[in-house]
Amino acid sequence: MQELTFPADFPFIIFSYDIPGTLKDLHLHDCMEIGLVESGTGEFHVDRKVFGFTKGDMVLINRHESHRAKSTGTAKARAVFIYVSDTFLADLISLTGNIGYYRLVTLGGSQFTNLFRDDVIGARIIEVFRENERQASQWKPRIRAVMADVMVLLVRRFEKQFDVGATPDAFAESLLSVYDYINRHFEKKMAVRDLADITRMSESHFRKRFREYTGKSPLDYIAERRLKNAYILITEKNMSANEAAHLSGFSNYATFLANYKREYGTLPKRGNRTAAEKE
């Protein structure tokens, strides 16, 4: 998990990026990420999903999806990315009411299509990027205003994938704290009751709501995140498999090796990615 440091008076990190020709730097962020492809072609890899992209495509990635990208053409693809702080979402809610902002941050899973195309949102993202480059008078308030529009447009675009029912965003907001707790306590034994307490729900109700949002049980999600964390530590941080397993919360090394091989098709080795990821 990459813990980003936002400027004290500005809830965004805005930059352009030349996407490399090979896959590297599998990572997660503790915030929502929006990307717009300015040029070139390539692939976004989000968890186990692969999306081919071209100029004008956009990607929405939440805080619990590991991801990376690569260019596939003769020239490196270039994209604009914006990281959106949770404080900005909280400010929007205080001003406009909760219309689904936190749900955007928790959307995900194998059935969620992170890649999309929207010329109106894309134009607004470019506007934000240009304002950030120029930094003319009142550029920060201007970017805040444009990003408020972007968030409303994103909610409208993805609202069909939101849960219906009572106060779904109240749970989505508390789910952010659940994700953070899991990501910060891999080495600890975690019980579903502990996670339910964070949301102030009964354990049975929490299990039901968690599955509705993620498509899996809390324990399955924890196991998946532990394995993913170990994979990042081994392949990207050059850590030994034994140390990575320990730091990721695996008490039984043999079980870790079996799960790792089942998931990635190979036994763990420092700097060793799967064959598909090396292509």
> pLDDT tens across 117-147, in order?
999 999 999 999 999 999 999 999 999 999 9
Residues 124 and 174 in one domain: no
| Confidence band for 194, pLDDT divided at 50, 70 and 90 | very high
Residues 48 and 28 in one domain: yes
Which CATH number is 59's domain given?
2.60.120.810
Q: Of 161, 189, 217, which one is at a domain's C-terminal end?
A: 161
Q: Does residue 2 form part of some domain?
A: no
Residues 25 and 131 in one domain: yes
Any residues with CB less than 8 A from the CB of 54 and at least 6 apart, and which?
A: 37, 40, 41
- The burial of 137, by beta-carbon neighbours within 10 Å (0-12 exposed, 13-18 middle, 19 or more buried), is given as exposed
3-state secondary structure of 167: coil
Residues 186 and 61 in one domain: no
Q: Of 129, 145, 161, which one is at a domain's C-terminal end?
A: 161
For residue 73, what are its two tokens? 């053409």
On whether the CB atoms of residues 259 and 227 are closer than 8 A, the answer is: yes
- Residue 14 pLDDT exceeds 60: yes
At residue 158, the pLDDT reads 87
Cα 195 from Cα 218, distance rounded (Å): 8
Q: Which residues of 247-278 are buried (b: 16+ CB within 10 A; e: fewer)?
A: bbbbeeeeebbebbeeebeeebeeeebeeebe
3-state secondary structure of 211: helix
Residues 39 and 94 in one domain: yes
Residues 57 and 150 in one domain: yes
Which CATH number is 184's domain given?
1.10.10.60
Of 63-77, 176-190, 195-209, the least confident = 176-190
Q: Does residue 5 form part of some domain?
A: no
Residues 117 and 177 in one domain: no
| Confidence band for 58, pLDDT divided at 50, 70 and 90 | very high
Residues 267 and 176 in one domain: yes
What's the number of domains the chain is made of? Answer: 2
- Residue 73 pLDDT exceeds 80: yes
- Residue 272 pLDDT exceeds 80: no
> pLDDT tens across 233-251, in order?
888 788 999 999 999 999 8
Residues 88 and 203 in one domain: no
Q: Does residue 264 form part of some domain?
A: yes
| Confidence band for 16, pLDDT divided at 50, 70 and 90 | very high
Residues 118 and 202 in one domain: no
Mean pLDDT of the chain: 87
At residue 70, the pLDDT reads 95
3-state secondary structure of 86: helix
Q: Does residue 4 form part of some domain?
A: no
Interval 96-104 mean pLDDT:
79
At residue 188, the pLDDT reads 87
At residue 26, the pLDDT reads 79
For residue 221, what are the domain limits?
A: 168-278
Q: Which residue has the higher pLDDT, 250 or 8?
A: 250
Residues 182 and 149 in one domain: no
Name the pairing type of β-strands 49-53 and 67-71.
unpaired
On whether the CB atoms of residues 82 and 34 are closer than 8 A, the answer is: yes
For residue 190, what are its two tokens? 């975690």
Question: How far, in Å, are 24, 207, 218 from residue 192 at the CA level?
Answer: 33, 8, 7
Of 11-15, 47-51, 232-236, the least confident = 232-236
CA neighbours closer than 13 Å in the CB half-sphere of residue 205:
10
Residues 27 and 149 in one domain: yes
